[in-house]
Amino acid sequence: MITVGAIFGKTPEISIWGQQSSRNNVIDNASHLPTDCQPGKFDRKTGKWLHDEKSKKIKWAAELGNTTYGSPVCAGGKVFCTTNNAAGYDPNYPKSVDLGCLLAFDTKNGNFLWQYSVEKLENDGIDWPEQGICSNPVVENSKLWIVNNRGEVVCLDTEKGNVIWKFDMITELGVVPRQMTCCSPLIVGTYVITGTSNGKDAQGKTVPHPNAPDIIALDKVTGKLLWQDTPCGKNILDGQWASPAVGTKEEQSYLYYPGGDGWLYAYKIKEQSHPPLVFQWKFNCNPEGTVWRGGQGTKNILVATPVISRDKIYIATGQSPESGDGTAVLWALEQGEKANAAWKYDGKVSGSNDFEEQFHRTIGAVVEYENLLLVGDFAGLVHCLNAETGEFHWCYDMMAPIWGSPLAADGKFYLGDSDGDLVIFQASDKLSVLAEVNWGDAIYTVPTFYGTILYVTTNHYLFALGEE
């Protein structure tokens, strides 16, 4: 379990997507992470994993749905994954029933423990079929908070998956998600903070409820609404699917919210006061002269989550995967009371039209590790930069769109792609590929490490990798 610095009072034990509230997906003090794992064979017709003699260093595997966007989050001897209902664990809902699901497994052996089942909304324009729950949970002690496919923030107990409370952002706040609700919440002191996913209508033409909040804070114990803000409002360009992050400088903590208008918003976190967050600054992540035309334009939104490390905020622009792999920008901003850019990166050669010299739209976050910044873009290129200066080190073409973010640990980077390849890089300013293994199905998620096990999710399976 990863210790996250508390904003107020005693430091709690929190497990979260991105390992910490700064969302920098680094495992400190990890060692002996595997590089020579092999899944073995899959049935060509069904995709079922066969676990044959070629399978190597797989402790166990658990079946998920058939569309899995949720990365594994581990806490208290359990691993939690969000997916859809294609595995049919819940006897009340056969696999033919479309649901959003949160599954819990035992980390020791992969045994199924429980399923939290969420029925789909009637309006499939705001809850797309077969997509399941797209957000990741945050866990503190014996409680878990998640944003589900119905636009509800929900608190569960981790032992049985029972609902403690829920807050319906659609009913209570008038939120209208674009395609789906997707935000991985944060625990900040006594608050649970999340984006609402308010966006444009199903046709992508107008924002039905521009006055609905973009970001909210709830009491983590009761679910009571404590604060809301609408920084984007009528300026939302498409949907809002990114997640907030927290950074601290000179003992002042800030929350950073990536908006669906292409701006990054910073709020001061005020200890035990009302309001708990106070707007500080905003930064336009689209260079001057860019134009919004959806996938055909040069202006983007923020789908990637900001990452805070080395007193900098790293954020890349992008769009919905449906919009393709146009050009984009990666920014490094200085933490503090003003919005100051340290550097920006738009490719190996700025302004180039050469595919491998460009930086493309990105929906995954960066990772900063030992002054190396690694990020994968939606065109399939992996970029490694100097985290302090933005200097280009190397680029690698994974030959398939990259949806997720890297894991950094044990001197290595782990990154998956939509073809199912998991590539392991040496953490170096010189390109060194240690392994590239196909896991049979798309990897839209972020690997994690817990105890002595590396966890990797594909569309259909959760794999626990380690010494046999």
CA dihedral 424, 426, 432, 437 (to 10 degrees): -10
What CATH superfamily classification does 14-465 receive? YVTN repeat-like/Quinoprotein amine dehydrogenase (2.130.10.10)
Q: How confident is the model over 380-437, as pLDDT tens digits?
A: 999 999 999 999 999 999 999 999 999 999 999 999 999 999 999 999 999 999 999 9
Pick from 47-56, 128-137, 284-293: least confident: 47-56
Residue ranges of domains in the chain:
14-465
Q: How far apart are CA 258 and CA 282, in angstroms?
A: 10
Place of tokens 């890297």: 406
Whether the per-residue pLDDT at 12 is higher than 70: the answer is no
pLDDT of 2 reads 37
Q: How many whole angstroms separate alpha carbon 417 and alpha carbon 456? A: 12
11 has pLDDT over 80:
no
Query: Would the pLDDT of 6 be above 70?
Result: no
Work out the burial of residue 244: count CB atoms within 10 Å of its CB; fewer than 13 is exposed, 13-18 middle, 19 or more buried: buried
53-57, 210-214, 369-373: segment of lowest average pLDDT: 53-57
State pLDDT tens for residues 21-77: 999 999 988 888 889 999 999 988 888 898 888 999 999 999 999 999 999 999 999
Q: Please list, in sequence order, all residues whose beta carbon lies within 8 angstroms of the beta carbon of residue 251, skipping any fewer than 6 positions away.
A: none
Instruction: State the Cα angle at 182 between 181 and 184, rounded to 5°.
Output: 135
Amino acid, single-letter form, for residue 393: H
Give the mean pLDDT of 169-189.
Answer: 96
pLDDT value for 18: 85
194 or 353, greater pLDDT: 194
Backbone angles phi, psi at 164, to 5 degrees: -90, -45
Residues 6+ apart with CB under 8 A from 404: 71, 364, 376, 415, 416, 443, 444, 445, 446
Which residues face 13 on adjacent strands? 3
The pLDDT value recorded for residue 7 is 41
More confident residue, 274 or 118: 118
pLDDT at 13: 65
The confidence band for 346, taking pLDDT boundaries of 50, 70 and 90, is very high
**Three-state SS letters, the chain:** CCECCCCCCCCCEEEECCCCCCCCCEECCCCCCCCCCECCCECCCCCCECCCCCCECEEEEEECCCCCCCCCEEECCEEEEEEECCCCCCCCCCCCCCEEEEEEEECCCCCEEEEEEEECCCCCCCCCCCCCCCCCCEEECCEEEEECCCCEEEEEECCCCCEEEEEEHHHHHCCCECCCCCCCCEEECCEEEEECCECCCCCCCCCCCCCCCCEEEEECCCCCEEEEECCCHHHCCCCCCCCCEEEEECCEEEEEEECCCCEEEEEEECCCCCCCEEEEEEEECCCCCCCCECECCCCCECCCCCEEECCEEEEECECCHHHCCCECCEEEEECCCCCEEEEEECCCCCCCCCHHHCCECCCCCCEEECCEEEEECCCCEEEEEECCCCCEEEEEECCCCCCCCCEEECCEEEEECCCCEEEEEECCCCCCEEEEEECCCCCCCCCEEECCEEEEECCCEEEEECCC
Mean pLDDT of 176-180: 94
pLDDT at 8: 39
pLDDT value of position 186? 97
pLDDT at 411: 96
pLDDT > 50? residue 4 = no
Q: Report the Cα 125 to chain-centroid distance in Å.
A: 22
pLDDT for 244 equals: 98
Rounded Cα distance between 268 and 266, Å, is 7
- Tell me the percentage of the chain whose pLDDT exceeds 70: 97
- How large is the average pLDDT for residues 175-187? 95
On the question of pLDDT at 187 being above 70, the answer is yes
